[in-house]
Structure 1
């Protein structure tokens, strides 16, 4: 293992946390209205998306192909989940092998012959240019193509300024432009008006009534306290100085707390859970050579070095955006490579980390954490 792999989570810092506590078109500034009749029990994301946002944005998101390969925004960002799940991909394939979701650029080898990764993991290909101080060993290529899950368009467009799993997009409009050019292989460039309408529409997409209220009022929904003993024990793991809460802090549980890991700034949004290092998804690895500011070179062997590709900073190797844990029970699969298919898979990943570092996490601990996450 490279010495950098413990950059965010050193043995000492994790042990400190464990000891501390394990246990018509609208303008862009218009706000969606808080729901008055919708509750968590009858919340319908697709219905809310249609009624709470601009007609132009909804039409562009769901129908416009920009003269490309037949894909729309909603091909990969469904209005029922905000993203794409393996079950949705499999259902689309069963209906029609030629569905716009299945295009050669996202096939297993790029030739359209097979789609096992898309069908089983719901991952698509992302091509990222290499920054000036990063190069591939034994290759002159100046970009890399990786397989990643699809970030959800629910909640985050309105509530989270960090866009994409590596934070590479500066605005929703820029992200839409890149998606049209890349994933949709667009034959025409969206206009500024169209990009603004898509962004406005995305800002009206919420996974639940409480999140829509948060978006409308700006007041975060309170974190649940838990009612069962298991839920309450699970909540304790998310205390600011506890193992989960050290990174998953704040009202969306997506930022480090004031009791952060040594060297990790309060409010930081990038970290890792050894997902690339363990590589349970079985993605091919590549060797990246980084020229550091002092002229030395560092080597990273990884299936996906994440934020490193954006910043060129060795300290960002294998780190990714910590996304919101709100409504996490409805956002499977998990991690940047969709390697955890359910919450039990998430805890298996973390159990592998704690085992490696000698930190106890029992089956009951895992069950308690899952019980609490299901309340979020």
Structure 2
């Protein structure tokens, strides 16, 4: 339970301080003309800062850089547009496991298309222009047939040459495969589309030399005669700096994410990804929601009775998904959307990745990389979420049960999600925690493999072997610097709490849709789909986001750490990653130590984010907007208090006292009637948080890492200064 300061006491303090400020204003001794200009009404428009909430344009820029690196490693470049196609939950007429690659040479107009997994038959390939229209508004005037192809033995493809004269005025917004002779509007089999990243990348291609640099006065490249086909980021070619464009896009995406229902059942993206609960939901949070909350539409609307399993949702925080196809009910927890900029990149074989299938992911999204339909991009994740979670009826007919987002809305939501949370991981080896238990946990965590004895056998119980998949406590591999997928045996744990309530619940096979054997109770037949692998989640936010794993199998941080002591992990493929034995054997005191470390680093991130929100609130003129952002900053500070107190041992009690003092000033800021007073309170809150941070840890940029620590490139981790230490 979060500790809330008495608002009655706070009001008395505000009244007293308001009187002081008012008197000072009259006497002209304190408030300057700038302050007077800030005394706005709640309805006055804000002209200073876009309200991006937890979003940060710098985090979005980091995501764009990571995307560019991954895109070019997979064969995309300034001359060649490369797109992936797949089944779309929102747009495909029938379910299929088919997928494809589309390649367009912007210099020559040559198209190369290859597909696998489609049923045998004849198909047509289309270019679709639906700019500024709902995606389903594909009419004949906006569709250009490239050619036809046959699929035999699961494979097919075509090569074609585009004619520039026939394409003038056309903008490529999506690629569609339909059954031969049928309109792409009436029969979409698989589809794919350029997302926000493509649009920014191909906005006159300054990325290739200047990253997020100067877009001004760049002339169209005459050597790329088909470049005009590609949709561009709004106004990107007229601005010398993308920051204002991206800031406005993030702010727009925030409004859509939290408010837009897409003419569906009343749910929004925020229904499951709550900003005041670390962009996720859990049973305790669900318990406090009112009965008419849109989350409960399966209970209140008979037409949607099959949309969720209310018992599993309320007791275990599990949401019904159909990641393996219609009619296959898979229940998953709601993964938070923080720090996606650090985990959006999937592993590549060329960088040391283990699985070729990972290269088919446009983005590493969801719990298993295939949470998004189609190519697996974040753009298509939004499309799939609207169709899966927001329909008026279970028929899920686009245009009837919901409206599909426009291209502009998809861009904005993608920008917002990629701007949330951290842009980098923490410099763990440079941190020294003031509590010795926490420091011991850091040392256990920040290793990659077990030490070996003279015979080469692993010595167990000395390390936790976390660094390999969670470098710097994030969600990146220390080898590939990308998000790894691993089978860590979670589905093989001896008791699945939700399955006790629903014994016939499908096993979750993770990545992929191939039939597999996942559960011991069905040894003679396949009882799930996938190869057992799941995305690696970042751990900096772990203490904030219980319960744990894709199925909410355990409730506490200590239980989640102890799961890696179990036979389920130590006999799983994941414990032998890259042929190295990563068996974990920690005793109870070591589990507590690792948990203490994760709580401390989570608290540091809470404080960093709280300061970011407080700083944002300080720059906003509009009182209502500033109070909203300041409230989010207070919530982050309360989270820091909560995670430190939950540890019991090694809980940095002195830091907690400073954070509680900061919460007091944040409550006063919530009640402040004018910007000057609000900012004064926020400044004092930030001063208290600074003291708390320094009581938790110190940071030495010149620290020499231990021989067992794999140090990441500097651009992937914060500096000591960036985390306030």
Q: What's the CA shift string for 1:150-185, capped at 9, x where partnerless?
A: 111221156533111011133221111110111112
What is residue 363 of structure 1 aligned with on the other side?
588
Deviation at 1:56, TM superposition (A): 2.0
Question: How many residues align structurally?
Answer: 289
What is residue 235 of structure 2 aligned with on the other side?
none
What is residue 240 of structure 1 aligned with on the other side?
448
What is residue 69 of structure 1 aligned with on the other side?
265
User: Is residue 75–residue 100 contact of structure 1 (8 Å, CA) maintained in 2?
Assistant: yes
Q: What's the CA shift string for 1:216-262, capped at 9, x where partnerless?
A: xxx5431244333322322233212244326433234324434xxxx
What is residue 433 of structure 2 aligned with on the other side?
226
Q: What's the CA shift string for 1:313-336, capped at 9, x where partnerless?
A: 999632211111112111111100
User: Is residue 321–residue 329 contact of structure 2 (8 Å, CA) maintained in 1?
Assistant: yes
| C-alpha distance in structure 1 between counterparts of 2:569 and 2:415, whole Å | 44
Question: Where do 1:1-376 residues align within 5 Å?
Answer: 32=57, 54-80=250-276, 81-92=278-289, 95=290, 97-104=291-298, 110-111=305-306, 115-129=310-324, 143-157=327-341, 159-161=343-345, 162-168=364-370, 169=372, 170-185=376-391, 187-206=402-421, 211=422, 215=423, 220-223=425-428, 224-238=431-445, 239-242=447-450, 243-245=464-466, 247-258=468-479, 269-278=484-493, 279-283=495-499, 303-309=507-513, 317-353=531-567, 360-376=585-601
Q: What's the CA shift string for 1:19-54, capped at 9, x where partnerless?
A: xxxxx999xxx96258xxxxxxxxxxxxxxxx9963
| C-alpha distance in structure 2 between counterparts of 1:128 and 1:355, whole Å | 24
| C-alpha distance in structure 1 between counterparts of 2:411 and 2:436, whole Å | 47
In structure 2, relative to structure 1, the CA distance for the partners of 1:281 and 1:52 (3 Å cut) is: farther
Deviation at 1:87, TM superposition (A): 1.6
Q: What's the CA shift string for 1:277-319, capped at 9, x where partnerless?
A: 11422425779xxxxxxxxxxxxxx721111437989996322
| C-alpha distance in structure 2 between counterparts of 1:364 and 1:84, whole Å | 30
Bigger Rg over Cα: 2
Q: What's the CA shift string for 1:29-88, capped at 9, x where partnerless?
A: x96258xxxxxxxxxxxxxxxx99633212211111111111001111001211112122
In structure 2, relative to structure 1, the CA distance for the partners of 1:251 and 1:70 (3 Å cut) is: same
| C-alpha distance in structure 2 between counterparts of 1:311 and 1:25, whole Å | 48
User: Is residue 253–residue 416 contact of structure 2 (8 Å, CA) maintained in 1?
Assistant: yes
* RMSD of aligned Cα (Å): 3.7
- Give TM-score scaled by structure 2 length: 0.36
User: Is residue 58–residue 201 contact of structure 1 (8 Å, CA) maintained in 2?
Assistant: yes
Q: What secondary structure sits across from 2:294 in the alignment?
A: coil
In structure 2, stretches of 5+ residues that fail to align are 1-48, 60-246, 346-363, 392-400, 451-463, 519-528, 572-582, 602-725
Deviation at 1:102, TM superposition (A): 1.0
In structure 2, relative to structure 1, the CA distance for the partners of 1:110 and 1:348 (3 Å cut) is: farther
Deviation at 1:128, TM superposition (A): 2.2
Q: What secondary structure sits across from 1:324 in the alignment?
A: coil
User: Is residue 165–residue 336 contact of structure 1 (8 Å, CA) maintained in 2?
Assistant: yes
Deviation at 1:111, TM superposition (A): 4.4
In structure 2, relative to structure 1, the CA distance for the partners of 1:350 and 1:250 (3 Å cut) is: closer
Greater RCO, CA 8 A, separation 6+: 1
Q: What secondary structure sits across from 1:276 in the alignment?
A: helix
Deviation at 1:341, TM superposition (A): 1.6
Q: What secondary structure sits across from 1:334 in the alignment?
A: coil
Q: What secondary structure sits across from 1:160 in the alignment?
A: coil
Q: What secondary structure sits across from 1:309 in the alignment?
A: coil
| C-alpha distance in structure 2 between counterparts of 1:227 and 1:151, whole Å | 31
| C-alpha distance in structure 1 between counterparts of 2:413 and 2:515, whole Å | 28
Deviation at 1:273, TM superposition (A): 3.1
| C-alpha distance in structure 1 between counterparts of 2:250 and 2:474, whole Å | 30
| C-alpha distance in structure 2 between counterparts of 1:177 and 1:75, whole Å | 16
| C-alpha distance in structure 2 between counterparts of 1:235 and 1:275, whole Å | 24
User: Is residue 272–residue 281 contact of structure 2 (8 Å, CA) maintained in 1?
Assistant: yes
Whichever structure has more helix as a proportion of its residues is 2
User: Is residue 273–residue 353 contact of structure 1 (8 Å, CA) maintained in 2?
Assistant: no
- Give TM-score scaled by structure 1 length: 0.66
In structure 1, stretches of 5+ residues that fail to align are 1-23, 35-50, 131-141, 259-264, 288-301
In structure 2, relative to structure 1, the CA distance for the partners of 1:272 and 1:236 (3 Å cut) is: farther
